[in-house]
Structure 1
């Protein structure tokens, strides 16, 4: 029987016992990559670059923003699921990728519930109901609802595409109003907004940040926000829930890690992210871009994501939309 070197065994045992803390202490050991499921320049990308810049300074490593648009975020989600779970690859995602797609697609190459873990919510913006004032001259939400109910099936609404959050928000609105409306899908929010401004479609839901310039310029009119309270960027525009109780559609953006990431690494990313969110630079960005903060603790994030998943699963079911 071969001799066993006791000192070698003790050395191996010591290395094994120190491996997890050592990995945490070594973090970060190389540049970060933040996957973004949309093209550069949009709301999600703006937030990803803002938080990435501050994480780079705080953690002493460069941060690369990797825009992987396509399939409602599924392309980015698949790339993220294949990454090493060591905290060096992060995902900035919205409800579309985390909550809606699992109800919309029959199969996904990943499971956001078991493969991903939320670290922090970065910001949110309500979706807003906007109309072309020439096509729909109403100035209040009750007037618009009365018009739609008096003309069932005759009022069209645009969206950024079938199964998108904006489409599902329109379907929730149609169900709450209680009459048929005609959905006109576009390949993205920008062409839908172009046709709304031109009067080719009379109304749509859009994210507050993208609709705001056209509202302020007078090309379109905002009649309601899909938030719990009035938004400071649209004073005098009521929440839709004040007329249709319970109506809520918020476009939130969160930071995610792979679920197998070591806890000490996640805790450090969490701490630095929340420190950055509390800083004056991001406060200025939030004011300029009409973002609202989301002060949800990491312990409460799973319940928040689960509630959002339920909300959007029901919206997908009611709409009948499928992406396969």
Structure 2
């Protein structure tokens, strides 16, 4: 009798690992969409964000086993696109492609929003970061570095004028951050886009500007403009000899990023599957090559890490908006 009990006990102990492992093996498979997905972005076709979104859609489709389409919903300072994603059915089929403007800054710029950018979105991944260049006209500042340009602003009557892509734009707020950190008298001249701003900068009608690397690099290469700094905390691989603003103003960092977000209302298991799919694309060799070809940098990080980063940046940019009194409505 005793030998039988011992045998039964031994059999149970040997079987226990398999029994414990059985629930894990029986878990439901990762979520997969049963219909096409939409990537909604608040910009018109043709820009850098649109290019990244379409490249992501093409690579994401075979990973998820469904087609992924890009839907451009420009206007309203990004609020139209963001609202569309928040109001969509929380099934993981509608994602938002956005930048700082929507996620970090819009709540300070608009007196009333139909969504809350702080709580309604969860980051799935950052497609890229691409620093802006701080550029000056070569004729006006042929060899001065950033420190000399800031000194000129403080000694010239009326200070220096700077251009931006419009009031409340990231280029505007980036220069206001620089102004607040240095005390340099800088006067804002808003434009409707980079092209007219860069034309005036080369003609000497304004003194300096932050502008996207992709749009200002040709003028720097041709010699009409000089890049005296990059807006990121570290030098960019595209122009490694150009120092970051932080080399002169240590706490400065204004790096534009391009992210993919799901609505918080989407169930967590679905968000986790979407994050895994997005991250598999963003960590691929083909994506790394795309960024190199587009003068952009990778921006690694998972959902939790990126959420913490965004929360920290949000405080900086909203404080800049409050100090400038900028409003978008």
TM over 0.5: yes
- Contact persistence 2:32–2:273 (CA under 8 A): no
Match of 1:214 in 2: 219
Two-structure CA RMSD over aligned residues (Å): 1.9
Task: Note the 1:148-187 alignment, pairs <5 A.
Answer: 148-187=153-192
Match of 1:51 in 2: 56
Match of 1:245 in 2: 250
> Which deviations, in whole Å up to 9, do the C-alpha atoms of 1:81-131 show, x marking residues without a partner?
211111111111000000111011111111112221111112111122101
- Contact persistence 2:124–2:279 (CA under 8 A): no
Task: Note the 1:74-113 alignment, pairs <5 A.
Answer: 74-113=79-118
Cα distance change, pair 83–23 in 1 and its aligned pair in 2 (3 A): farther
* Residue from 35, 40, 48 that aligns with 2:40: 35
Cα distance change, pair 26–186 in 1 and its aligned pair in 2 (3 A): same
The structural deviation recorded for 1:195 is 2.4
Task: Note the 1:115-126 alignment, pairs <5 A.
Answer: 115-126=120-131
- Contact persistence 2:31–2:269 (CA under 8 A): no
1:62 aligned onto 2:79: no
Cα distance change, pair 25–242 in 1 and its aligned pair in 2 (3 A): closer
Task: Could you tell me which runs of 5 or more consecutive residues in structure 1 were left unpaired when the two chains were aligned.
Answer: 1-20
The structural deviation recorded for 1:23 is 10
**Whole-angstrom CA distance in 1 between matches of 2:90 and 2:73:** 19
**Whole-angstrom CA distance in 2 between matches of 1:180 and 1:228:** 23
TM-score by length of 1: 0.89
Higher Cα Rg: structure 1 or 2? 2
Q: Secondary structure at the match of 2:55?
A: helix
The structural deviation recorded for 1:278 is 1.6
Task: Could you tell me which runs of 5 or more consecutive residues in structure 2 were left unpaired when the two chains were aligned.
Answer: 1-25
Q: Secondary structure at the match of 2:227?
A: strand
Q: Secondary structure at the match of 1:56?
A: helix
**Whole-angstrom CA distance in 2 between matches of 1:196 and 1:136:** 11
* Residue from 146, 150, 153 that aligns with 2:151: 146
> Which deviations, in whole Å up to 9, do the C-alpha atoms of 1:240-271 show, x marking residues without a partner?
11111101101011110011112222111111
> Which deviations, in whole Å up to 9, do the C-alpha atoms of 1:124-164 show, x marking residues without a partner?
11122101111333431122111111115231100000111
TM-score by length of 2: 0.88
Match of 2:284 in 1: 279
Match of 1:114 in 2: 119
* Residue from 227, 237, 240 that aligns with 1:235: 240
**Whole-angstrom CA distance in 2 between matches of 1:47 and 1:173:** 28
**Whole-angstrom CA distance in 1 between matches of 2:224 and 2:302:** 39
1:264 aligned onto 2:265: no
Aligned residues: 304
**Whole-angstrom CA distance in 2 between matches of 1:278 and 1:114:** 27
> Which deviations, in whole Å up to 9, do the C-alpha atoms of 1:19-53 show, x marking residues without a partner?
xx999866311111101111112121111111111
**Whole-angstrom CA distance in 2 between matches of 1:247 and 1:25:** 41
**Whole-angstrom CA distance in 1 between matches of 2:257 and 2:297:** 9
Q: Secondary structure at the match of 1:314?
A: helix
